[in-house]
Structure 1
Amino acid sequence: MTANQFLLEELVETLQTFLIENHPSWLKLNFSKIYNSSFQTDFKALQNYCNDIIAKHPNLIFESTDFNSLPEAALVSIIQREDLQLEESKIWDYMIQWGTAQNKILPSNLDDWIDKDFRILKNSLQQCLPHIRYFQISSGNIMEKVFPYQQILDKTLWADILKYFMAPDKPITSTILPPRKIVTTQLPNRGNAFQITSSIITNEHAAEIASWIDNKEVTYEVNNNPYEFNLILRGSRDGFERDKFWNLCDKKKNLLVVVKVKDTDEILGGYNPIGWNCFYSGWYSTTNDSFIFSLKNGNIKNHILSRVTKASNAIYNTSYGLNFGCYDFGMKEDHSFYVNSSFVYEKQIRKLSGTFSIDDYEVFQIKKK
């Protein structure tokens, strides 16, 4: 190894350590992209850091819009972990989803598959298949989920799986991997570790928003957040159509909306304590406690908090979806969002007025612990 190569490797290690120790919130907000990149560049420290998080919170990757583009080595490194907090049948489902996505030529309808199609899928998953705990999957899920894809398994393994469930006294030759070490967790109580399920905001953001809800001048400590943030809608997961919004959010109270503006560090949002009601489309709803905001994130160094000033026009019920004030901030029919000069709230939460595209948006229902 040359001196230059050694210095470069040392620099890479230092950079990874710096990011992990000093910018964990930034890493979380850009989690899937950073995770993918860490395997493309062989950043071992970042890989291990991310894998430890994924083991505890697998939805960060498995429910990510980038999941199907995950490098094979990354997927293998996840599913081989004994502490992956995910049911084995769901791991199987995600693995099949990933493998199918790597081969666009495969028919979308499994009934149309021929032997060649199963061979293609088996070849794509050859590094993943040995890490599935087949004997930890229930018999019902074996028949429902594994049986349709039995051709991608070695014949001996499939025969052993059948014997295991149908004739448990018969000897089998296949390796039986131990069950994963699933940790039984309880809902966090006040004072316990707080963890928000979000691809847009961090625990620190949630603590700041909670302090705004309670009109606190001092921001809550992350682990003393008095609220639960229950994710009820994510655009990239549930769909961006207005019908999806109304189906999941209609008449629900204490709603928090957060939006990631496309190709920027901007995170915008609003809190609506009384909810939206599709039945009253075209009508305003009154509250003194709603607010809209822009969060600190990346290059955005300061937050903007804008509380309602005209309570009678605080919330507008429109068929398009969520709306704060007299079109101060809200959703348009084409799935884009907008910010306009503030008529109902204290100040405008974005420098530029008008419509903008988003990467994603989420709606949480907030409730006291």
Structure 2
Amino acid sequence: MITQQFLPYLSQHYLSALNNNNDFDVIIKIGEGNNYKEFEAHSFVLFTRSKYFRAALSKEWVKKQDNKMIFHKPNISPKIFEIILKYIYGGIVEIDTEDPEEILDLLIASDELYFEEILDYLQDIFLEPIKDSLQDYIVLVINISIRYPTFNVIKDYVDFTIKYLPHIIFFSKEFYNLDREILELLLQRDDIMIKEVQLWDCLLEWCKFKVELNNSNIEEWNTMDFIRLKESLQPFINHIRFSHMTTSDFTDKVLPYRASVEEYIYDIIKKIFFTSIRDMIRLSFNFSVEQPKRRGIDSLLINIKECILISCWIDNKSNDYYSFSTFPYNFHLLYRASRDGFDNSTFHKLCDMKGPTLTIIRVEGTNELIGGYNPLDWQSPPDWVEGITRDSFIFKIDNQDEKYIPSKPYIENSVASKFDNGPNFRDDLTICGSRCHCEHFGYNKRIISTELNFVMADYEVFKVVKS
């Protein structure tokens, strides 16, 4: 059997019927007030193409006037319905705007009218223009993901953002517009990549905003101010994992607000001379020691998504072998050049004899992300000392194009140490001060295509610890 489809011609003919045919038997009244318009259509097309209209234009529901079926739809705008009607007749979705709110209106209307086949496409179109300014839209996007559970593309995007990029939510100016119920759901999650003390700070600011406590100097607060904050904190307090804070974090960030959480810290004050502050925190806040700790990484360059990927490479697994719940390593920041300085002596002071380490580099100008893993200790000998290992690797990570290049050594002496150099993966990746040298020498792939010598915008070194 030979089959050839000529669907564009079919689409063209049906659109011609919509634009030129006078044999309409349905009047659809769309919108209301100044934003109102009547559309004419053919019932057989609506019945054939839409489950929604099959039900809405049934004999039990429809009204007739001059032998034409009359249908009202005030909650959709004429502009949006015109796009939908063209899709019904011609199978064409024609969008002439990048305004996220208009695209969202089209998405919601398509969902309401049961055009399930175009929902994923419209979600992609909605998300694309807002990705670069997601902080401005994050509350809107979260609300959509909860209100419309069938929007799987948006739901997955929100879930990824919550897990791996929570700063976009918690440090956005839109954060204060989060509904209480949504904030409570966020605080209950185990997989959110943020420090507990940062969550506490953000929660405090949200609660202060909601009860209009604008004075940042709490020494000037009166009793009623602390009571108002206490009432605002009450639904959330049990979701903050105080036992996972450091002693200094708890002392500096929590104790100043003891009047707003006094019933929770009474035991701390009572037992302060009898037990460690960490034990007191657990006792007084009634948190189980078994409560899972939120996993995160203190980095300006990578997030947990990259940590999971690098964990796969460390264990010689495929890129998707580990997930958030299974990857077996923690990455503890030892050194950040933009914070500690680019001099080699500081690198050695902070990173020597620490065991396995991960080095992450952002290239000046191109923002390329490259790095290397050393399973051995870094050292500071006066002359070059080569490390004998085949378990090291260097890599490039390109999240935008989803290109990940791990490069394994084909020489045994794949790393080297010297007091006046930084991390050294032979000539394939060598750091000295703020400059980096990268060519193809002892590893199986070259990880960067730019000139051999370049300047780094920043670099970080992490101690790699088995969980």
TM over 0.5: yes
Identity of aligned residues (%): 17
Q: Is 1:275 the equivalent of 2:352?
A: no
SS at match of 1:324: coil
CA distance in 2, matches of 1:163, 1:96: 20
SS in structure 2 of the partner of residue 72 of structure 1: helix
Q: Which residue in the other structure is 2:449 paired with?
A: 351
Mapped contact 1:286–1:314 kept (Cα < 8 A)? yes
Counting only pairs closer than 5 Å after superposition, residues 112-261 of structure 1 correspond to structure 2 as 115=220, 129=233, 131-133=235-237, 145-149=253-257, 184-185=291-292, 199=303, 201-202=305-306, 205-206=309-310, 208-210=312-314, 214=316, 221-222=321-322, 228-233=328-333, 239-241=339-341, 245-246=347-348, 248-261=350-363
* Post-superposition offset of 1:352: 0.4
Q: TM-score, normalised by structure 1?
A: 0.57
Shift of 1:72: 2.7
Deviation at 1:232, TM superposition (A): 1.6
Matched, 1:298 2:406: no
How many Å apart are 1:67 and its aligned residue? Answer: 5.3
CA deviation digits over 1:108-150, x for unaligned, max 9?
Answer: xx7xx76389999999x89964644289898x99986445347
Deviation at 1:307, TM superposition (A): 1.8
Alpha-carbon offset, residue 199 of structure 1: 0.7
Structure number, greater radius of gyration = 2
What is residue 342 of structure 1 aligned with on the other side?
A: 440
TM-score by length of 2: 0.47
SS at match of 2:310: helix
Q: How much is the aligned-residue C-alpha RMSD, in angstroms?
A: 5.8
Cα pair distance change 1:273/1:304, threshold 3 Å: closer
- Cα distance in 1 for partners of 2:443, 2:387 equals 13
Structure 1 residue matching 2:378: 3-state secondary structure: coil
- Within the candidate set 135, 153, 175, 1:36 is matched to 135
User: Contact 1:295 / 1:303 at 8 angstroms: preserved in 2?
Assistant: yes
Give the counterpart letter for 1:184 in structure 2: Q
Q: 2:12 is matched with which residue?
A: none
Q: Number of paired residues?
A: 314
Distance 1:304 1:19, change over 3 A: farther
CA shift in 2, pair 1:251/1:322, >3 Å: same
In structure 1, stretches of 5+ residues that fail to align are 24-29, 168-177, 188-194
Q: CA deviation at 1:227?
A: 7.0
CA–CA distance in 2 between the matches of 1:2 and 1:351? 51
Residues 142 and 358 (structure 1), Cα distance of their counterparts in 2 relative to 1, 3 Å cut: closer
| 1:71 pairs with 2:71 | no
Q: Distance in 1 between matches of 2:239 and 2:393?
A: 52
- Bigger relative CO (Cα 8 Å, ≥ 6 apart): 1
Task: Tell me the CA shift for residue 203 of structure 1.
Answer: 6.4
Query: Retained in 2: the 8 A contact 1:250–1:275?
Result: yes
Question: How far does residue 88 in structure 1 lie from its aligned partner after superposition?
Answer: 7.9
Q: Following the alignment from structure 1 to structure 2, what is the Cα–Cα distance between the partners of residues 304 and 208?
A: 11
- Structure 2 residue runs of 5 or longer lacking an equivalent are 1-75, 84-102, 109-118, 146-152, 209-213, 271-284
Equivalent residue number for residue 423 of structure 2: 322
Q: Summarize the Cα distance change of 1:240–1:145 in structure 2 as closer, same or farther, 3 Å threshold.
A: closer
Q: Name the SS for the 1:351 alignment partner.
A: coil
Question: Do the aligned residues in 2 keep the contact of 1:261 with 1:267 (CA within 8 Å)?
Answer: yes
How far apart in 1 are the matches of 2:352 and 2:370? 21
Shift in Å, 1:2? 0.9
Aligned to 2:57: none
Supply the AA of the counterpart residue of 2:393. Answer: F
Question: Matched residues in 2 for 1:66 and 1:236: separation?
Answer: 25
Q: Which amino acid aligns with 2:358?
A: L
Structure 1 residues 91-100 or 200-209, which shifts more?
Answer: 91-100
Q: CA–CA distance in 1 between the matches of 2:223 and 2:156?
A: 35
For 1:83, the equivalent position in structure 2 comes to: 188
Q: Secondary structure at the match of 1:307?
A: coil
1:2 maps to a residue whose letter is S
Q: Is the 8 A contact 1:306 1:349 kept in 2?
A: no
Distance 1:355 1:303 in 2: 19
Paired residues of 2:395 and 2:406 also in contact (CA < 8 A): yes
Hey, what's the Cα distance between the residues in 2 that align with 1:226 and 1:51?
21
